[in-house]
């Protein structure tokens, strides 16, 4: 990894914690050539218009993700109601064919509340840690979390209302998520109680699906109403500590979205559909520091940008393997 890429990697981590993306201070010579070619070049503009005219909408990765998410959560339901003992428990803590699986953020909250490392939790957490290191931490958010799916649907309604000028989208400071992570960690340590687990929409929905609905669903409904009428995806973007925990895990993940500068026409379609658009700052014209740039760890690997890109400049990539294939 060269100097600019190292700085880019550090910048991506800082952006995950809430810092706003910045223009790059240094761009590789090859990337500069491509940026220069794209400035007012008539051939490039013609290529761009041709690609736009022949682009076919795709929902391949979105459909795969929705199916995976629904099946993963339904497996909990089937295991409980039919007592097949395949996937027991809920997303917070479960057992898959004898293997203990403990949500990383939940385990951290419990250990902070009890003020010591619990061996059984540590073992179950280790299994999950390895899984999400391989798949990319925030893959959990878009491919497994049930609240994420509801928030995605609520976002579609929000955008429809925005288009009709019935509501406006209110953005907030993304550093709030890091603040909330610290607040919930301090509350667990100070009170001896896992405060976050009591209000986590992920845990509430998972338990409701398996064991039946309860009054806690009113809290989930309130969050969705807030996101529809005030701020799109507010919980995931500005509050949820689970996303930040898994984002940190994803820093070393080999699975990522790779951006290719030469194929990009900078239409902005990818950023319009992205669930966390700050991670795609590199696709803005003149921002890419190299001909290929991996998208940062706050990316949920949802695949919406891959579906939206008319030229294939955004693709799933496995570090160290893709170039061998």
Provide the residue range defining the domain that includes 160.
Answer: 61-248
Angle at which helices 241-249 and 119-135 pack, to 10 degrees? 70
Asked if pLDDT for residue 51 goes beyond 50, the answer is yes
Of 23, 20, 19, 14, which is closest to residue 289 (Cα–Cα)?
Answer: 23
Q: Within a domain: residue 313? A: no
Mean pLDDT of the chain: 90
Alpha-carbon distance 144 to 121, whole Å?
Answer: 21
Q: Looking at the structure, do residues 132 and 227 belong to the same domain, yes or no? A: yes
Residue 190 located in a structural domain: yes
Q: Are residues 74 and 16 located together in one domain of the fold?
A: no
Q: Is the pLDDT of residue 225 over 50?
A: yes
Does residue 41 carry a pLDDT above 80?
no
pTM for the model: 0.90
Say yes or no: 143 and 8 in one domain: no
29 and 131 inside one domain: no
143 shares a domain with 28: no
Residues 215 and 83 in one domain: yes
Pairwise CA distance, residues 266 & 48, whole Å: 9
pLDDT at position 322: 62
Most confident range, picked from 39-43, 255-259, 316-320: 255-259
Q: Are residues 224 and 191 in the same domain?
A: yes
Query: What pLDDT is stored for residue 159 in this prediction?
Result: 94
Indicate the number of domains in the chain.
Answer: 2
Cα separation, 289 vs 196, whole angstroms: 39
Radius of gyration of the chain (CA): 21
Residue 309 has pLDDT above 60, yes or no: yes
Neighbours of 71 (CB within 10 A): 10
Mean of pLDDT values over 87-99: 87
In a domain, 314, yes or no: no
Q: State the pairing for strand pair 255-260/99-102.
A: unpaired
- Predicted pLDDT of residue 325: 43
Question: What is the Cβ-side half-sphere exposure of residue 231, based on CA atoms within 13 angstroms?
Answer: 12
- pLDDT on residue 324: 45
On whether both 137 and 178 belong to a single domain, the answer is: yes
Note the pLDDT of residue 39. Answer: 78
Q: Are residues 35 and 160 in the same domain?
A: no
pLDDT in tens, 260-273: 998 888 888 899 99
Q: Is residue 322 part of a domain?
A: no
Task: Check residue 206 and give its pLDDT.
Answer: 96
Let me know if residue 310 belongs to a domain. Answer: no
Is the pLDDT score of 308 beyond 70? Answer: yes
In this prediction, residues 83-112 reach a mean pLDDT of: 88
């Amino acid at each position: 990894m060269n100097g600019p890429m190292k700085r880019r990697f550090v910048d991506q981590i800082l952006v995950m914690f809430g810092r706003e993306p910045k223009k790059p201070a240094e761009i590789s010579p090859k990337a500069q050539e491509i940026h220069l070619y794209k400035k007012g070049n008539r051939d490039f503009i013609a290529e761009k218009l041709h690609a736009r005219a022949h682009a076919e909408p795709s929902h391949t990765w979105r459909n795969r993700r929705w199916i995976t998410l629904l099946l993963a959560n339904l497996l909990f339901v089937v295991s409980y109601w039919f007592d097949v003992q395949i996937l027991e428990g809920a997303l917070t803590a479960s057992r898959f064919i004898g293997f203990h699986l403990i949500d990383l953020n939940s385990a951290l909250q419990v250990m902070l509340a009890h003020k010591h490392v619990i061996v059984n939790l540590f073992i179950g957490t280790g299994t999950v840690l390895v899984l999400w290191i391989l798949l990319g931490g925030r893959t959990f958010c878009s491919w497994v979390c049930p609240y994420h799916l509801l928030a995605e649907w609520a976002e579609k309604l929000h955008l429809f209302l925005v288009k009709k000028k019935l509501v406006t989208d209110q953005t907030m400071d993304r550093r709030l998520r890091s603040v909330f992570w610290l607040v919930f960690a301090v509350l667990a340590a100070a009170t001896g109680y896992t405060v976050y687990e009591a209000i986590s929409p992920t845990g509430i929905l998972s338990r409701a699906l398996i064991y039946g609905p309860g009054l806690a669903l009113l809290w989930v409904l309130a969050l969705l109403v807030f996101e529809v009428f005030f701020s799109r995806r507010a919980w995931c973007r500005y509050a949820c500590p689970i996303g930040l925990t898994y984002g940190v895990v994803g820093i070393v993940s080999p699975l990522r979205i790779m951006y290719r500068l030469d194929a990009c026409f900078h239409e902005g379609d990818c950023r319009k559909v992205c669930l966390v658009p700050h991670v795609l700052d590199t696709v803005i014209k003149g921002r890419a520091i190299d001909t290929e740039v991996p998208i940062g760890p706050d990316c949920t690997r949802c695949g919406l940008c891959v579906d939206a890109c008319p030229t294939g400049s955004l693709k799933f990539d496995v570090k160290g393997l893709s170039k061998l294939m």
